[in-house]
């Protein structure tokens, strides 16, 4: 456990320096505890793989005061119950225009495109946290044989719903944004909708599976 000021109005808590499920659970527990029992002067929380950034009002709190309060929270962290994870399925149409990098990723790993799809859809992923833009979930971990570095030059415009991989992570782009992840397919599901309760389709802690669907099914679901 390490505390470090990030700015004059934010404090970083590092739980570890490696991505593990155990560390993720500690990040999630502190997040849930701070949501249930907010600290006066705390404005925002940004969970990461192994850390939690706490933004605060610098007129109301100082780093050392906040650290002292957070240490009391951390003392009873183990008693915080985590609800059962939600199991979420995300239909994906792989390859073609929807997944322009599928063939190259397959080649890199000496796989066929269908083996690549099978592998990507073979394991459940954990939502470690949301970041980048509203509703973008960082999902891990990819099967070892799919781990691929991100594109050297990011695309200027990735279509919303695009399913990509980068390093040992995978994720779905909620909006048309620039992006450097390698695109394997696309989902017809809207990942972030301001008119829907909860807004974000995925939340931290969810378990996610990708389900391959045909392009006909994709079009039918998109227009539904």
Partner 1 sequence: MKVIQVQAPGLLTTVQDLGREGFGPMGVSPSGASDAISLRVGNRLVGNAEGAAALEMTLLGGSFLFPEGAIVALTGSDFGATLDGAPVEQWASIEFRPGQTLSLGPTHSGARCYLCVRGGIAVKPFLGSASTHILSGLGGFDGRPLRKGDVLNIGAVDQASANESFRRVALTPKVRERLLPRKTLRVTPGPQCDWFPDSSLRLFYSSTYRVAEESNRMGLRLEGERISPRSGAEMITEGVSLGAIQVPDAGLPIVLFVEQQTTGGYPKIANVISSDMASVGQLRPRDEIRFESVEWKVARSLLREMEDLLASPQLIS
Binding residues for partner 1 (CB under 8 A): 4-10, 12, 17-19, 31, 35, 43-53, 55, 58-59, 62-63, 129-138, 174-175, 177, 192, 194, 199-200, 203-204
Whole-number Å distance between alpha carbons of 212 and 39: 44
Question: 10 Å Cβ neighbour count for 70?
Answer: 21
Pick 45 or 119: Cβ nearer partner 1: 45
160 vs 128: CA distance, rounded Å = 21
User: If 0-12 CB within 10 Å is exposed, 13-18 middle and 19+ buried, where does residue 61 land?
Assistant: buried
Whole-number minimum distance, CB 107 to partner 1, in Å?
Answer: 25
Residue (58 or 143) nearer to partner 1, CB: 58
> Cβ 142 to partner 1, closest distance in Å?
15
| Residue 95 Cβ vs partner 1, minimum distance, rounded to whole Å | 27
User: By C-beta, is 37 or 216 nearer to partner 1?
Assistant: 37
Cβ proximity to partner 1, 111 vs 147, nearer residue: 147
| Short-list 151, 202, 204, 209, CA closest to 180 | 151
Choice between 50 and 183, CB closer to partner 1: 50
Decide whether 54 or 213 has the Cβ nearer to partner 1.
54
Dmax of the chain from CA atoms? 58
CB of 211 to partner 1, least distance (A): 23
Least Å distance, CB 215 to partner 1, is: 26
Strands 87-94 and 207-212: parallel
Q: Where are the beta strands (DSSP E) in the chain?
A: 2-7, 10-14, 42-47, 51-56, 87-94, 125-130, 137-140, 155-158, 162-166, 169-172, 177-179, 182-186, 207-212
Please report how close the Cβ of residue 55 comes to partner 1 at its closest, in angstroms. Answer: 6
Instruction: Kindly state the tokens that stand for 223.
Output: 């227009």
Closest to partner 1 by CB, 95 or 171: 171
Q: Among 177, 201, 183, 190, which Cα is nearest to 223's?
A: 190
- Enumerate the β-bridge partners of residue 182: 165
Q: Smallest distance, Å, CB 218 to partner 1?
A: 23
């Amino acid at each position: 456990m390490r505390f470090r000021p990030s700015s004059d109005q934010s404090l970083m808590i590092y739980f570890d320096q490696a991505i593990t499920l155990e560390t993720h659970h500690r990040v999630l527990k502190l997040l849930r505890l701070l949501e249930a029992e907010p600290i006066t002067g705390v404005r925002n929380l940004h969970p990461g793989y192994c850390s939690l950034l706490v933004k605060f009002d610098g007129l109301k709190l100082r780093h050392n005061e906040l650290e002292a309060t957070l240490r009391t929270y951390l003392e009873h962290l183990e008693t915080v119950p985590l609800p059962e994870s939600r199991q979420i399925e995300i239909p994906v149409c792989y390859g073609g225009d929807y997944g322009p990098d599928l063939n190259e990723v397959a080649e890199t790993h000496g796989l066929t495109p269908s083996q690549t799809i099978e592998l990507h859809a073979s394991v459940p992923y954990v939502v470690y946290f949301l970041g980048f833009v509203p509703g973008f979930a960082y999902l891990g971990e990819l099967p070892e044989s799919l781990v691929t570095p991100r594109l050297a030059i990011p695309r200027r415009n990735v279509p919303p719903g695009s399913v990509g991989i980068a390093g040992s992570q995978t994720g779905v782009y909620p909006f048309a944004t620039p992006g450097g992840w390698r695109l394997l397919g696309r989902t017809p599901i809207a990942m972030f909708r301001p008119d829907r309760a909860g807004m974000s389709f995925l939340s931290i802690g969810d378990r996610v599976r990708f389900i391959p669907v045909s392009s006909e099914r994709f079009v039918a679901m998109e227009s539904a």
